[in-house]
Structure 1
Amino acid sequence: MTQQRDVVVVGGGQAGLAAGYHLRRRGLDFVILDADAMPGGSWQHMWDSLHLFSPAEHSSLPGRLMPAQAGETYPGAGHVVNYLADYEKRYDLPVQHGTRVKAVHHDTDRLLVEADSGTWRARAVISATGNWSRPFLPAVPGHSTFTGRHLHTVNYRSPADFAGQRVVVVGGGNSGAQIGADLALDGRVEVTWVTRRPPRFLLDDIDGRALFGVATARRRALDAGRIDTGGVASLGDIVAVPSVRTARDAGLLTAKPMFTRLTVTGVRWADGSQSNADAIVWCTGFRPALSHLAPLNLRGSRGRIPTDGTRALGEPRLHLLGYGDWTGPASATLIGVGRTARDAARAITQQLS
């Protein structure tokens, strides 16, 4: 059975919900298809100790302030899940959970959205699937010979899973620093943190509030044809959240240069020495989850789909939301996605009229 809507939103995390809020305000007929069985987007799959970079009042979706979490300046992932579930319910957003979209196809006057529950015909599609479902693992010599555990950020939960073990954490971004700090502060794990270049910590008083402003200023400068300021990347790579500061200041979070290869029992360093390891945690980032858009044949360089704002250049009925700055400044953040979702809903309304 084929159903029809003005708009089909693929993905029911923070970007999909922000899109739904603005589509509802514009009176459009839409549905949100979400692969997760429960509300909360990727936040329900994060590690136990993860906290936001910003206070609750600066981490909100449009229309609904995130309430503060008792005893916490920076809310934890579980608090965000509860907020997103409440947001979905408060605005009665038509989210169909447990519905995985397989493919989006061209049609004459519509786009066909093929899901495991059936097919939808839409006048416009917003893809908001994020990147959590597509972890990136670099090609490292000896990867297949290592007999310990390989994990990515998506598989990490807590230090209790590694008590008494030797763990190498790879990655010089926020995930690597936070997971390294989480393990080091626990005291039951021998942790080695490795990065490809010396880690760059942002100033301790910089959090998500300031980063959103920097990202927005960069986008405005680029749109106006001014010189690229470098945005957030010009300030550093790691937000010094409390756990990271504590571990760093205690000398527990000191990075080593990247090893040259993996061995059967661990890693080999540039000087030829070796260290044993029971597990490697790869905090090496993600790629945008866009496989459902493959039939549209829109991919450009670096695996991205060229866009004008959120609109795909090769298919103007398709909008991409929440994948990073290339789909809107800070659009992969809670506070940043609302503005871009508003712009996408406005563009779609104009297009459909």
Structure 2
Amino acid sequence: MSEAPRPVDVLVIGGGQAGLAAGYYLRRAKADFVILDAQDAPGGAWRHAWPSLRLFSPAQYSSLPGRMMPVPADGGYPSAADTVAYLTDYEHRYALPIVRPTTVHAVRRGHERLLVETDHGTWHARVVISATGTWWRPHVPHYPGIRDFRGEQLHTTGYRGPEPFAGKHVLIVGGANSAAQILAEVSTVTGTTWATLRPPRLLPDEVDGRALFDLATRRHRAALTGEATTGIGGLGDIVAIPAVREARDRGVLKAEPMFSRIIPEGVAWRDGSALSCDVIIWCTGFRPTLGHLTPLRLRGPDGIIPTEGTRVLGESGLYLLGYGDWTGPASATLIGAGRTAKGTVTEIMRQLEV
């Protein structure tokens, strides 16, 4: 839908899972709000994920508030396509006021309102929720020689499937779920090596994202109260979805220590050993996409924007939603974004009543 810029009580930047969760609660609260999304279609970052990507929680634990994600036809973990279909249905079901494609360039302070500058004009909002996620800022750590590598390098964001790598030796870098899933797939068509900062730890087969979310919640509550907490953290941190289990059983989930430098034909370690490879896939995570907030000068000495919960300490009308545990327990997951959004909107509505 298209809409001319106008004054609005609450403006949400980002129409992915966190923005939709906020929209659900804002709709229930009968707030005056709009969601600006830079994408030209629903689904957020999930539209750009590789086709075989699977969530690491079953559908009932990967749902936004008010609407359960349908169980996939195969009864397994939802795919990226399943998630896009779900988010598309979700925003239509709740008739969320999403304006797309609209790119937000900057948020600035105005007189009693925040000014949100976009490629289609400037909005004036009493409260802004930034829910832009992390997908748009892939992180590749710097290693000596990284520009000298003669082969191909790509980040998780550029991976679409294993077929282009057949006959090439592929180095997978990173120790989280994305690395394990991509390694499991690529290793079916070619030789692979896995490099991680620490030995990868697969969770027991019966443990998935449900337990990880519960653990994150317990840790968050313990941090608030100063209490100690225990949980499943010592058991591992990679969910053994079926494809990863199959790779484990094939014996390919054996990781090498992280290399110290990159050489033209591959990588090398401090002990003088080296590996020749044709492709490096960096499964090394992301950074929050917050460049639009730069004019507000909110970052602390550590580069992080200080928050209390999801509210930004340096700007009472600004909230951050869905960027990770620092903005709520597991808030970068579907279920975590929904639970965090509920408290955020409750706080915002109280603020608007003043």
When normalised by structure 2's length, the TM-score is 0.96
Find the aligned partners of 2:290 and 2:300 in 1 and give their Cα distance: 12
The aligned runs of 1:120-199 (5 Å cut-off) are 120-184=123-187, 186=188, 188-199=189-200
Give 1:300 deviation, angstroms: 2.3
Q: Match for residue 102 of structure 1? A: 105
- SS of the residue 1:240 aligns to: coil
Root-mean-square deviation (Å) = 1.4
Gaps of 5+ in 1: none
Letter in 2 for 1:154: T
Q: Match for residue 318 of structure 2? A: 318
Letter in 2 for 1:23: L
Question: Which digits, 9 at most, give the CA deviation of each residue in 1:291-333, with x for residues without a partner?
Answer: 0111111112543211111100000100000011111111111
Give 1:224 deviation, angstroms: 1.9
The aligned runs of 1:290-309 (5 Å cut-off) are 290-300=290-300, 302-309=302-309
Q: Does 1:87 align with 2:109?
A: no
How many residues align structurally?
A: 350
CA contact (8 A) 1:6 1:28 kept: yes
Q: Does 1:58 align with 2:34?
A: no
Q: Match for residue 287 of structure 2? A: 287
Question: Which digits, 9 at most, give the CA deviation of each residue in 1:8-57, with x for residues without a partner?
Answer: 10000000000000001111111111111110011111112111111111
Find the aligned partners of 1:15 and 1:256 in 2 and give their Cα distance: 36
Q: Match for residue 24 of structure 1? A: 27
> Cα distance 1:179–1:230, how it changes in 2: closer, same or farther (>3 A)?
farther
> Cα distance 1:350–1:235, how it changes in 2: closer, same or farther (>3 A)?
farther
Q: Match for residue 242 of structure 2? A: 242
Give 1:155 deviation, angstroms: 0.6
Find the aligned partners of 1:231 and 1:294 in 2 and give their Cα distance: 38
Bigger mean CA offset, 45-54 vs 261-270: 261-270
Give 1:208 deviation, angstroms: 1.1
Give 1:273 deviation, angstroms: 2.8
Find the aligned partners of 1:44 and 1:122 in 2 and give their Cα distance: 29
> Cα distance 1:231–1:154, how it changes in 2: closer, same or farther (>3 A)?
farther
Letter in 1 for 2:271: D
Letter in 2 for 1:218: R
> Cα distance 1:211–1:198, how it changes in 2: closer, same or farther (>3 A)?
same
- SS of the residue 1:192 aligns to: strand
Q: Match for residue 349 of structure 1? A: 349
- SS of the residue 1:125 aligns to: strand
Give 1:249 deviation, angstroms: 2.0
- SS of the residue 1:60 aligns to: coil
Find the aligned partners of 1:334 and 1:87 in 2 and give their Cα distance: 12
Give 1:275 deviation, angstroms: 2.2
Gaps of 5+ in 2: none
Find the aligned partners of 1:158 and 1:71 in 2 and give their Cα distance: 20
CA contact (8 A) 1:39 1:97 kept: no
- SS of the residue 2:245 aligns to: helix
CA contact (8 A) 1:215 1:231 kept: no
- SS of the residue 2:6 aligns to: strand
Q: Does 1:257 align with 2:260?
A: no
Q: Match for residue 210 of structure 2? A: 209
When normalised by structure 1's length, the TM-score is 0.96
